[in-house]
Amino acid sequence: MKKISTMVIRRLPRYFRYLTDLKDAGVERISSTELAEKMNVTASQIRQDFNCFGGFGQQGYGYNVQQLHKAIADIMGLSQNYKLVIIGAGNLGHALANYAGFSRRGFHVVGMFDVQPDIVGTTTGGITIGHIDDLEAFCKREKPEIAVLTVPKEVALEVAERLPALGIKGVWNFSYMELRMPKGIYVENVHLSASLMTLSQHITADKKEEIK
């Protein structure tokens, strides 16, 4: 299989979502033209992208939805389960721990840690929140692959430094801090403030257009 470009990788979750809906609706085959229309992209982009991971399309017959769905799930690593440990049990940590959609996809929150005495020991989403001092022992035992970082900016670097020794393979970083991890540990950033600012930028740009 060819190496799949980052741009295609970024588009996979969206393909996966549409194909899941089609599969759930009992659709067996779909043409690139039909799918393109649904997804509001060009049919040629779809054909090009799907070619990257083996095709599954037959001229005039369209794509086999089930096969394509499985191929994308495999590439996305969704054919296996992952253990997540949430570090930082504030509102966002709670929201993520209670989101059922993740476990449906094979992402299971196995632990949650904080330092606040009034939070440690409480239970959310079936998880009892532990003290961060116990993080090392917990990871040795449970071997989570993914650390979810929902701590305040001020302590993010300090917490992040402890992650490589824990056997973590990926960091889902919600802190405002940029993290540099050793090779082999992938960081996926969710910068909510940056996303919100993109919105204000567009609103302001539109307003300026109006004034002109």
Q: Does 78 bind a second copy (CB under 8 A)?
A: yes
Tell me how far apart the alpha carbons of residues 102 and 162 are, in angstroms, rounded to a whole number: 25
Among 141, 154, 161, 194, binds a second copy (CB under 8 A): 194
Q: Does 17 bind a second copy (CB under 8 A)?
A: yes
Token pair for 61: 């017959």
Q: Which part of the chain contacts a second copy (CB under 8 A), choosing from 29-37, 114-122, 136-144, 202-210?
A: 202-210
What's the first-to-final CA gap in the chain, in angstroms? 52
Shortest reach from residue 209's CB to a second copy, in Å: 10
Binding mask 90-129 for a second copy (x = CB under 8 A): xxx-xxx-xx-xx--xxx----------------------
Among 67, 157, 162, 176, binds a second copy (CB under 8 A): 176
Shortest reach from residue 105's CB to a second copy, in Å: 6
Shortest reach from residue 201's CB to a second copy, in Å: 5
Shortest reach from residue 58's CB to a second copy, in Å: 27
How far, CA to CA in Å, does 100 sit from each of 13, 103, 108, 136, 154? 17, 6, 9, 26, 29
